[in-house]
A and B are shown apart, each in its own frame.
Chain A
Amino acid sequence: EVQLVESGGGLVQPGGSLRLSCAGSGFTFSSYEMNWVRQAPGKGLEWLSYISGTSSTIYYADSVQGRFTISRDNAKNSLYLQMNSLRAEDTAVYYCASMGRMDCWGQGTLVTVSS
């Protein structure tokens, strides 16, 4: 079964950092581009970042450029999102997703930025 499972969410203070992880299984992880997408409470979907299968191409949304870093370790079938300088408006459910040749999403992990 093709599956993505996020972890690493939680409560963090404004200005703090958090690292999200996403474990893939049931498919050849290195062959697929991956993304991070978030959804603030009661709001729509916001694309955050993209990474190609070989990590050679990386994109960020303006809202997180310079604060968030996407990376992957194909040997571990894992995707990461390092989030620094967190703000209250970063509070959201964060999804990892392959939205290319294969469409597969994780269940999401909640990040709450609050003092």
Chain B
Amino acid sequence: DIQMTQSPSSLSASVGDRVTITCRASQDIRNDLAWYQQKPGKAPKRLIDGASSLQSGVPSRFSGSGSGTEFTLTISSLQPEDFATYYCLQHSSYRTFGQGTKVEIK
């Protein structure tokens, strides 16, 4: 099975900060990776699929990069509504979520 290692598990940042979250796959998953945002008490929402394709309606401050085994989600300028937990998901073989990164207010 493919394991997804996500880091950091949490981070504190201020509005306007640039934030980077990383996911590493235990084997090559090409670009079969999505990023999700989840707010407390709500279902997750997909931000990016295909490692770098922004979903419709998602602000352009979100971007994704990477292929193979190393992937990155970047928020270029953190906004108040971005404080949430973020997960990567590989869908190359079965599906596996990363452990999550909680983005908190500094």
Q: Report yes or no: A103 in contact with B91, Cβ–Cβ below 8 A.
A: no
Q: A44-B87, A45-B87 are in contact. Are A99 and B46 (CB under 8 A)?
A: yes
Compute how far the CA of A106 lies from the CA of B43 in the bound complex, rounded to whole angstroms.
7
User: What total count of A-B pairs have CB within 8 Å?
Assistant: 47
Beta-carbon contact of B43 and A44 below 8 Å: no
Chain B interface size, as a band, is 20 to 34
Select B95's contact among A50, A107, A108, beta carbons within 8 Å. A50
Does A27 lie at the interface of the complex (its beta carbon under 8 Å from any beta carbon of B)? no
Given A45-B38, A107-B43, CB of A99 within 8 Å of CB of B95: yes
Binding site of A, secondary structure by majority: helix, strand, loop or mixed? strand
List the 7 closest A-B pairs by CB distance, nearest first.
A105-B43, A103-B46, A47-B95, A44-B100, A45-B97, A59-B94, A44-B99
10 sampled A-B residue pairs with Cβ under 8 A: A44-B97, A44-B99, A45-B87, A45-B97, A47-B97, A61-B94, A97-B43, A103-B45, A105-B43, A108-B43
CB distance from B86 to the nearest CB of A (A): 11
Asked if A35 is at the interface of the complex by the 8 Å CB criterion, the answer is: yes
Asked if A80 CB lies within 8 Å of chain B CBs, one says no
Is A35 a contact of B95 with CB atoms below 8 Å?
Answer: yes
Q: Could you tell me if A45 and B94 are in contact, using CB atoms closer than 8 angstroms?
A: no
B5–chain A nearest beta-carbon distance, Å: 13
Contacts of A106 in B (CB 8 A): 43
A46 and B100 CA atoms in complex are apart in Å by 11
Q: Which residue of B lies closest to A50 (CB)?
A: B95
Binary flags per residue of B32-58, CB closer than 8 Å to A gives 1, else 0: 001010100001111001000001000
Decide: B46 and A45 in contact? CB cutoff 8 A. Answer: no
Nearest A residue (CB) for B96:
A47
Contact with B along A84-113 (1 / 0, CB 8 A): 000000000001010110010111100000
Q: Report A34 CB to chain B, min CB distance, Å.
A: 12
Could you tell me which residues of chain B, from 40 to 90, have a CB within 8 Å of some CB in chain A?
43-46, 49, 55, 85, 87, 89
Q: For the complex, what is the distance from the CA of A59 to the CA of B49, rounded to whole Å? A: 21
